[in-house]
Amino acid sequence: MSRMVTSPQVVNIADLRLLARRRLPRMAFDYIDGGADGETTLRENCRVYEDVTLRPRSAVVAKSVDLRTTVLGIELALPVLLAPVGSCRLFWPRGEAAAARAAGKAGTAYILSTLSGTRLEEVKAASTGPCFYQLYLCGGRDVALATIARARAAGFSALVVTIDTPVSGLRERDFRDGVKELLSGRPFTMLPFVGQILARPRWLAAFLADGGLMSFPNIVLKEGPMPYADVGLALEESATCWEDLGWIREAWGGPVVVKGVHTADDARRAVDAGASAIVVSNHGGRQLDGVAPTLRVLPEVVAAVGDRVEVLLDGGIRRGGDVVKALCLGARAVLVGRAYAYGLAAGGEAGVARAIGILRADLGRTLKLLGCPSVAALDASHVRVPAHWR
Ligand SMILES: Cc1cc2nc3c(=O)[nH]c(=O)nc-3n(C[C@H](O)[C@H](O)[C@H](O)COP(=O)(O)O)c2cc1C
């Protein structure tokens, strides 16, 4: 089935999502697909793009369009980076390395989550492109300092500090799918929920051949890599606060990106704390449900700090047209999470390559239809936003 990702019938990200659903057990698919609480923000992140309409310049022939940009001075072939997505080995063997490889070949950056099952050195070595490291403080300051030193030595280009996870959001689907029970390791507790796993024998065989349930080799505690089941508590005990940015920045010594900004006030605070870029992000609707969709708050954040740092955005990007709208409203580039995670789950590296290929083709076509020669030339004149946004 993984070969199906290259089929001509796979034309958009929604098609990759369906393939992912067919290959993964329900709990793994829902882990990618779901959001927090009533999933209002998750839905709105995608829907809000419909509120913004495009204003093309017709009868303009742009034979070739330039998709290149730079983020933090790093050249990218297109303004789409792969967002940090934890637990990728649940989707595909050594999933983080597969995704990083696809990103590198496509000429863009891969952001590795702290909560990954593959050693950061292996992930960096897999990619020919730039890699950023996303930091949670699981295990405390000393553990984080050791990881920061490893990431620097391995050649990661930037540190992405996620600030929207003081506790894990409540993902209701995880409860229904029995994630806690499946992680308990107790056969009788697990029994009611194992059917979904046995129903996907190919996934199961690949998962077991890849070592089964991973631990986190980039969170090295005194006892060794942090076990999978301990994530929730570890996040809660090690929530990042503004005061942490000082020592993180000093230890890293390179550009720091703050991810999880929702308001102009926090954007200013992040910049004052030394951020080189910020990501307007609500974690893909997986943390605080009920916050505004990211595209809606982007103009406020750009107005506050856009002349001081690069502003990136993620959340709800499923088409190249979405990328265009975010860039017109002031984003330097976007991050995609689920768009490539579906591809990874459907077909490993080939699936991620397909996801990026779909977005790249969309982007090029949309620019031509807009009569715009490059992503650099996109601006507010190419979109119309609802009057009440102003
Ligand atoms: C399965 C999954 C796991 C994620 N894990 C992390 C993570 O470990 N760290 C982080 O900062 N963000 C994480 N995110 C959030 C993404 O980085 C990104 O903000 C979000 O996916 C963007 O929304 P989108 O999925 O609609 O593109 C995760 C998202 C998904 C879908």
What would the mean pLDDT of 175-195 be, rounded to a whole number? 93
Q: Which amino acid is at 187?
A: P
20 ligand 1 Cβ < 6 A? no
The predicted pLDDT at position 1 comes to 65
Q: What is the mean pLDDT of residues 83-90?
A: 97
DSSP H helices in 161-315 = 172-176, 179-183, 187-190, 195-198, 201-209, 231-237, 242-252, 264-272, 294-305
Question: Which long-range contacts link 203-209 to residues 24+ away (Cβ below 8 Å)?
Answer: 203/23, 203/24, 203/25, 203/28, 204/25, 206/92, 206/93, 207/89, 207/90, 207/93, 209/93
For 199, list phi and psi in degrees, rounded to 5. Answer: -75, -5
Give residue-wise pLDDT tens across range 337-372: 999 999 999 999 999 999 999 999 999 999 999 999
Kindly report the protein residue whose alpha carbon is nearest to atom 10 of ligand 1. 84
pLDDT of residue 229: 83
Q: Over 70: is that where the pLDDT of 230 sits? A: yes
Measure CA of the first residue to CA of the last residue in the chain; give whole Å: 47
DSSP 86: S
Name the residues annotated as catalytic.
283
Q: Which atom of ligand 1 is nearest to the CA of 281?
A: 19
Of the candidate ranges 118-132, 175-189, 309-323, the one whose mean pLDDT is the lowest: 175-189
Closest atom of ligand 1 to CA, residue 113:
8
Question: Is the pLDDT reported for residue 318 higher than 70?
Answer: yes
What tokens were used for 194? 């194992």
- Give the pLDDT of residue 386: 96
Q: Rounded mean pLDDT of 20-29?
A: 98
257 close to 275: Cβ distance less than 8 angstroms: yes
How much of the chain, in percent, has pLDDT values that exceed 90? 94
Question: How many angstroms is it from 68 CA to the middle of ligand 1?
Answer: 24
CB 59 within 8 A of CB 265: no
The CA-based angle 176-178-179, given to 5 degrees, is 115
Number of other residues whose CB lies within 10 A of the CB of residue 183: 17
Q: What are the phi and psi torsion angles at 383 (to 5°)?
A: -135, 155
For 130-149, what is the mean pLDDT?
Answer: 97
pLDDT band at 390 (very low <50, low <70, confident <90, very high): confident
Whole-angstrom distance, CA of residue 242 vs CA of residue 249 = 11
Confidence at residue 185, expressed as pLDDT on a 0 to 100 scale: 86
DSSP one-letter string for 236-262: HHT---HHHHHHHHHHH-S-EEEEEE-
Whether residue 220 has pLDDT greater than 80: yes
pLDDT category of residue 63 using cuts at 50, 70 and 90: confident
Q: Is the CB of 76 inside a 6 Å radius of any atom of ligand 1?
A: no
Tell me the CA–centroid distance for residue 133 and ligand 1, in Å: 13
Q: Residue 281 C-alpha to ligand 1 middle, in angstroms?
A: 9
CA of 279, closest atom in ligand 1: 19
- Mean pLDDT over the full length of the chain: 96
Span 284-295, mean pLDDT? Answer: 98
